Amino acid sequence: MSSATDTTAAPAFGLDRDEALTLYRRMRLIRRFEETVQLLFQRGEVPGTTHLYTGEEAVATGVSSTLGPQDRIAGTYRGHGHALSVGVDPQALLDEMLGRETGVCKGRAGSMNVIDLSHRLIGCFGIVGGSIAAATGAAIALKRSGGVAVAFFGEGATNQGYFHECLNFAKVLNLPVVYICENNLYGEFTPMELVTAGEIRKRAETLQLGAVTIDGNDIWTVRAAAGAAVERARAGEGPQFIEALTYRHVGHSRSDPGAYRKPGELDEWLKRDPLKLARAGIIERYDADDATVDEVDESVEQQIQEMIAAALAAPFPTPGPVAEFKS
Amino acid sequence: MPTLEFRDAIRQALDEALRDDERVIVFGEDIAVAGGVFVTTPGLYETYGEQRVFDTPISELAITGAAYGSAVCGLRPVIEIMFGDFLTLAMDSLVNQAAKFFYISGEQGSVPLVVRSAVGGGGRFGSIHSQQPGTWFQNVPGLKIVAPSSPADAKALLKASIEDDNPVLFLEHKRLYTVKQEVDTEETAVLGKAKVVREGHDVTLVSIMKGVQDCLAAATTLSELGIDAEVVDLRTLRPFDRETILESLAKTNRLVAVEEGPLTGGWAGEVLASAVEGGLHEIDDIWRLTTPDHPIPFSPPLEDAFLPGADAIVASVSERLGVGSQQQNARTRGG
Ligand SMILES: Cc1ncc(C[n+]2csc(CCOP(=O)(O)OP(=O)(O)O)c2C)c(N)n1
């Protein structure tokens, strides 16, 4: 692993057993949430399109676990995991996927564009790179209250003007923002190396941001790196950059079968499934065994089944006159 | 005559342009190896190779600016901006560079580039993957805007766009990609000429892209109610064919512009302005049927109510003409 600062040996960043299990539960919830969205999409209950976070759960979960109530995040169209990581109500999120009135945005936004201000989510951005600018601006506001802004985005977004302009902007203004590049190796169907020159982390280093490349599938590593970056940003040391290496286990969107994957690549990554690693980490570090973690899985399963029933029963919004502007 | 699907019409036009003119190059995000997110470019990379058909980074401004630069140096680039909503990122290059070049250079040269982009709602893609950006560009002199409604037109107008010496924004409605039609594959078209796609005497329905298909469907229903509708397909938003609009108005004396886009500032307003300015004495009634002035909703019942489909056209026309029993569904605005 290429890494400017080796964080793999870092401790669990001060978590007790229950907190660690809560973190695992959140990852499991994201995984099952995404599988549920896919299932309901195939059944025609989720309209339009979906971009799933399956396989990348450790990144958002780990990063958001280091944030406080005064902090904010900006996510992407692959944003269900980003949303759940900061505590967006899973039921309201699922209802949104189904276009229901009870959705977090009243069914107006859909899968790609979720916003939940009451849970620190300033937006999920359908435009590649949009989250980078939103978090940069959020940092200008949050600086007053000691808050930190976090942008999640894919490696493909680092070829957008948004990326280059905002990193420079944040550096010269010394903004408390942490940029989390979720490098899952592909932008849609195109392998990163065919469209990306040089090393991504070095782009941030050139602009003199604190920058590390980490194993994004290991929640403990992510937590350690993010915790350190957030602390530095909060302490006034300016913008920080983390490249989290990860992999989406599923297609880019909808029914993409992933024909562009290299042979055996998915199997290799499945061996390093973030949920498997988190489970192993819990058993290794705490007084817990497989049965302890299985219990968490079962409770998530029950929650998911209840959510599906409630979402399918939720009302659709009624068309009618709506306000163009806030009065 | 062979049957042609809209998306294949696009592919054929690109294929023939690449075949017939060495200067044509095609690039964009996921258009080469993957064959395009909307499956409009499969096989082109395999046939013409990576020098002429290539994938790019996710960099819309670079894609469009590079098209401009290559065009002023002798190539004829055809680029794809995947969703019309992403044209915002390409706008500077199109508006401030490509559209100005011919005029401000004192006509030293022109910018023969084509920007293809998928637009429109109805797919439950939400407010940032469903917009109609044509009107954002309509008041930019120097830029042609093409908006085909059928497979035959898609092929003929795309070929004409690539052969045109000016920058062209070529809009493809996502809901049309699977439309099939029997076509004469050698048909040609000129940019800037509207087309009467159905003759009638009682009312003129003016639209573009999917709206034309909706108007044709509405016209069939209206004929059962005793209303004989004429349907005008504008085909291009710029140049804007006022003559065809006025000719039709002179015949029917009633006109509705059906626009999938917000009421305020849309091209439908341009249709009505042209009618008033050039045909005031021909008018019994003119009005617009558009989407409301708010972003496009995701939820299916909201999006369905938002878009002006065939039923809404029938309801609106019958209400304005005082015919039939569909008044309660009327969605007439403005006028
Ligand atoms: C400006 C813009 N261009 C193109 C797209 C279409 N698109 C959606 S996701 C995507 C790939 C993005 O790749 P990456 O940034 O690596 O993130 P990932 O999807 O892999 O998480 C593309 C090209 C878009 N949404 N916005």
What's the residue count for chain B?
A: 335
Contact criterion met (CB below 8 Å) for A40 and A254: no
Comparing alpha-carbon positions, the chain A residue that sits nearest to B61 is A161
Q: B27 in helix, strand or coil?
A: strand
Place of tokens 């297609």: A251
Q: What percent of chain A clears pLDDT 70, i.e. is strictly above it? A: 96
pLDDT of residue B192: 98
Nearest residue to A114 (alpha-carbon basis) of A89, A150, A137:
A89
Q: Are strands B180-182 and B144-146 parallel, antiparallel or unpaired?
A: unpaired
Q: Is B29 in the pocket of ligand 1 (CB under 6 A)?
A: yes
Q: How far is the CA of A254 from the centre of ligand 1 (A)?
A: 14
Task: Report the catalytic residues of B.
Answer: 129
| pTM for this predicted structure | 0.94
Q: Is the model's pLDDT at A6 over the cut of 50?
A: no
Q: Is the model's pLDDT at A109 over the cut of 50?
A: yes
Contact criterion met (CB below 8 Å) for A30 and A60: yes
Q: What percent of chain B clears pLDDT 90, i.e. is strictly above it? A: 94
Chain mean pLDDT for chain B: 95
d(CA B133, CA B143): 13
Helix (H) or strand (E) holding B230: strand B229-233
Q: Is the model's pLDDT at B235 over the cut of 50?
A: yes
Delimit the domains of chain B by residue range.
3-182, 195-331
Is residue A212 very low, low, confident or very high in pLDDT (cuts 50, 70, 90)? Answer: very high
Q: Is residue A318 part of a domain?
A: no
A283-to-A174, A277, A288, B170 alpha-carbon distances in Å: 41, 10, 5, 58
If you take atom 22 of ligand 1, which residue's CA is the nearest one?
A188
What is the pLDDT averaged over residues A275-293? 96
Q: A21 in helix, strand or coil?
A: helix
What is the pLDDT averaged over residues A197-225? 97
Q: Does B66 touch chain A (CB under 8 A)?
A: no
Beta bridge partners of residue B78, listed in sequence order: B26, B114
A45-to-A84, A92, A311 alpha-carbon distances in Å: 21, 15, 10
Q: Is residue A321 part of a domain?
A: no
Atom number of ligand 1 nearest to Cα A160: 1
Q: Is the model's pLDDT at A2 over the cut of 70?
A: no
pLDDT of residue B325: 53
Q: Are strands B114-119 and A190-191 parallel, antiparallel or unpaired?
A: unpaired
Chain A residue set in contact with B, beta carbons under 8 Å:
47-49, 99-101, 103, 106-113, 126-129, 156-157, 159-161, 187-190, 194-196, 260, 316-319, 321-324
Q: Is the model's pLDDT at B196 over the cut of 70?
A: yes
d(CA B109, CA B101): 7
Is residue A254 very low, low, confident or very high in pLDDT (cuts 50, 70, 90)? Answer: confident
Q: Is the model's pLDDT at B309 over the cut of 80?
A: yes
Q: Is the model's pLDDT at B290 over the cut of 50?
A: yes
Structure confidence by residue, pLDDT tens digits, A141-162: 999 999 999 999 999 999 999 9
> Residue A232 sits in a domain of what CATH number?
3.40.50.970
Structure confidence by residue, pLDDT tens digits, B58-72: 999 999 999 999 999
**Amino acid letter for position B248:** S
Q: Is the model's pLDDT at A10 over the cut of 60?
A: no
Domain B3-182 and domain B195-331, same fold? Reply is yes
Q: Is the model's pLDDT at B333 over the cut of 50?
A: no
CATH of B3-182, picked from 3.30.1330.10, 3.90.180.10, 3.40.50.970, 2.60.40.180, is: 3.40.50.970
Whether the ω angle into residue B239 lies within 30 degrees of 0, i.e. cis, is yes
Q: Is the model's pLDDT at B199 over the cut of 80?
A: yes
User: What is the largest distance, in Å, between two alpha-carbon atoms of chain A?
Assistant: 57
pLDDT of residue B335: 34
Angle, alpha carbons A318-B303-A129 (nearest 5°): 120
Structure confidence by residue, pLDDT tens digits, A46-105: 999 999 999 999 999 999 999 999 999 999 999 999 999 999 999 999 999 999 999 999
Angle, alpha carbons A173-A174-A175 (nearest 5°): 95
pLDDT of residue A7: 41
- CA A312 from chain centre, in angstroms, equals 26
Q: Is residue A201 part of a domain?
A: yes
Q: Which of A52, A54, A128, A249 to mutate to test the pocket of ligand 1 (most atoms within 8 A of CB)?
A: A128
Place of tokens 């306000």: A323
Q: How many CA atoms lie within 13 A of A12 on its CB side?
A: 18
pLDDT of residue A13: 61
CB A262: neighbour CB atoms within 10 A? 9
What is the pLDDT averaged over residues B94-102? 98
pLDDT of residue B150: 97
If you take atom 11 of ligand 1, which residue's CA is the nearest one?
A187
A160 with B58: Cβ contact below 8 A = yes
pLDDT of residue A174: 98
If you take atom 5 of ligand 1, which residue's CA is the nearest one?
A128
Contact criterion met (CB below 8 Å) for B296 and B132: no
Best of A128, A256, A260, A262 to substitute, by most chain B Cβ atoms within 10 angstroms, is A128
Q: Is residue A281 part of a domain?
A: yes
Place of tokens 């309201």: A92
CB A309: neighbour CB atoms within 10 A? 10
Domain of residue A40 covers 3-312
From the list A49, A111, A187, the residue facing B58 with the nearest CB is A187
Q: Is residue A325 part of a domain?
A: no
Q: Is the model's pLDDT at A302 over the cut of 50?
A: yes
Number of H helices, E strands in chain A: 12, 8
Overall number of domains in chain A: 1
Structure confidence by residue, pLDDT tens digits, A159-179: 999 999 999 999 999 999 999
pLDDT of residue B327: 43
pLDDT of residue A3: 42
How many angstroms separate the CA of residue B128 from the nearest CA in chain A? 6
Angle, alpha carbons A47-B259-B91 (nearest 5°): 80
Angle, alpha carbons A136-A141-A145 (nearest 5°): 125
- Which residues of chain B lie closer than 8 angstroms to A111, CB-CB? 126
d(CA A228, CA A245): 18
Nearest residue to B81 (alpha-carbon basis) of B62, B53, B98:
B62
Contacts of A280 (CB under 8 A, 6+ apart): none
Nearest residue to A53 (alpha-carbon basis) of A309, A252, A220:
A252
Structurally, at CATH architecture level, domain B195-331 sits in 3-Layer(aba) Sandwich (3.40)
How many angstroms separate the CA of residue A185 from the nearest CA in chain B? 13
Comparing alpha-carbon positions, the chain B residue that sits nearest to A48 is B124
Atom number of ligand 1 nearest to Cα A76: 21
Q: Is residue A42 part of a domain?
A: yes
B107-to-A177, B66, B70, B102 alpha-carbon distances in Å: 48, 21, 18, 5
Q: Is A119 in the pocket of ligand 1 (CB under 6 A)?
A: no
Comparing B76 with B185, which gets the higher pLDDT? B76
Q: Is the model's pLDDT at B134 over the cut of 50?
A: yes
State the Rg of chain A over Cα. 19
DSSP assignment string, B146-206: E---SHHHHHHHHHHHHHSSS-EEEEEEGGGTT-EEE--TT----TT--EEEE--SSEEEE
